[in-house]
Amino acid sequence: MRRRAFTLIELLIVIIVIGVLAAMMIISSTEAVTTAKASNIVANLTHIRKAVIAWYLDNIDRITYVSGRAAELAI
């Protein structure tokens, strides 16, 4: 029995399919990286918010409030 080898067309089709699958993986991985970065930013902002609230609660008796013209200039 004679074995039939792959033709050039079949080989090119396989290479094209692999290329398309690789392109789809690259696109999905970049979306995953973008989502991960956004999630990391949200987590960092949550930690900063908690730190500011903790600092405020610890120092609430030492905070001085500015009123009048000086308050407008401070902004």
pLDDT at 70: 53
Give the pTM: 0.53
pLDDT at 48: 96
pLDDT at 61: 80
Domain boundaries, the chain: 9-74
Return per-residue pLDDT of the chain as tens, 75 residues. 667 777 889 999 999 999 999 999 988 888 889 999 999 999 999 999 999 999 888 888 877 666 655 555 554
Distance from chain centroid for Cα 63 = 36
